[in-house]
Amino acid sequence: MRLTGLLLAALLALPAYAGSASNAGAKGSRIVSADGAVTEILFALGVEDRLVGVDTTSKYPEDVNQLPKVGYLRALPFEGVLSLEPDHLITTEEAEPEQTLQRLEQVGVKVTRLPVAQSPEQTLQRIMAIGELVDREEAAARLAAELQVVFTDIDKKVAARGSAPKVLLLLAAGGHGVSFGGSHTGADALLKAIGATNAVSNIRGYKPASREAIISANPDAIVVAESAPGQFRIADWPELAQLPAWKNGHRYVGDSMMLLSFGPRLAEALVILDGILPEAPTAESTLASRHGD
């Protein structure tokens, strides 16, 4: 992940989704952000004073809770957004319903739908894109450079490890229960970013976790992404607690938005998860184990 080439490519790609509003117009705009990672980026770039509302996936940083909530990203209400008199709605391609977005555009609200990020590179591209949208290109470049340092370090560790540990990622979503993060998910993308193999890659999407599948997965490390603190209780999952990975401390329970949104905290997430992975066996230890030493 070379920084210079990546940031240049991101800037060149901006016209495809940055819209036509000028920087001068963006400076005084009233913004509604409908995506937790987008909101975090706006705060990180120092334009939180322009935010007049956010969606319910926007929970970080703490100050965001003082802003009006317009509803869920995938069910945005036309009246709820419009009542905040925004000039600009910044969201992602996951936003719905399409009718709401079209109606907002028809009444003069600029709507920007950014690509969904599911890799460190795409995270940097999104930061640069938002920086352009809100006239904070220099701040975006600084933030991207800081993250790139961490991403490069993680890449080096992955290369040095030489093997792909098997990691089980569970999503604890309160009333929605606990789910496996299978293939074609943000969970799977996160594991790829730390050079890990998904322990339930045979499952596609997010599917309810079963106790039998947890045992058979027998991962090298376990990650639990909580949608709110305390939503996962290991006492409710004794099978998980008995796995060697859990008992040996190769585990992490944390904020699902930090782990899965691919926002400004992605670097923090990758460092934490890299830290729970078991060390790859050396050639000497492997040889010793084969000879029973």
Q: Domains (ranges, CATH) in the chain?
A: 3-144 (3.40.50.1980), 162-276 (3.40.50.1980)
pLDDT in tens, the chain (293 residues): 444 444 444 443 443 333 433 333 445 589 999 999 999 999 999 999 999 999 999 999 999 999 999 999 999 999 999 999 999 999 999 999 999 999 999 999 999 999 999 999 999 999 999 999 999 999 999 999 999 999 999 999 999 998 999 999 999 987 778 999 999 999 999 999 999 999 999 999 999 999 999 999 999 999 999 998 888 999 999 999 999 999 999 999 999 999 999 999 999 999 999 999 998 654 433 333 344 44
- DSSP symbol at 69: B
Q: In whole angstroms, what is the distance from residue 4 CA to residue 39 CA? A: 25
* Spatial CA neighbour of 161 closest among 190, 185, 187, 197: 197
Q: In whole angstroms, what is the distance from residue 151 CA to residue 284 CA? A: 29
> What pLDDT, on the 0 to 100 scale, is given for residue 45?
98
> What pLDDT, on the 0 to 100 scale, is given for residue 162?
86
> What pLDDT, on the 0 to 100 scale, is given for residue 41?
98
Q: Are 76 and 94 in contact (CB under 8 A)?
A: no
pTM score of the predicted model: 0.85
- Provide the b/e sequence for 90-121 (b: ≥16 CB within 10 Å): bbbeebeeeebbebbeeeebbbbbbebbbbbb
- First-residue to last-residue Cα distance in the chain: 41
Q: Are 222 and 237 in contact (CB under 8 A)?
A: no
Biggest alpha carbon–alpha carbon distance for the chain: 75
> What pLDDT, on the 0 to 100 scale, is given for residue 1?
43
Length of the chain measured in residues: 293
> What pLDDT, on the 0 to 100 scale, is given for residue 242?
94
> What pLDDT, on the 0 to 100 scale, is given for residue 280?
63
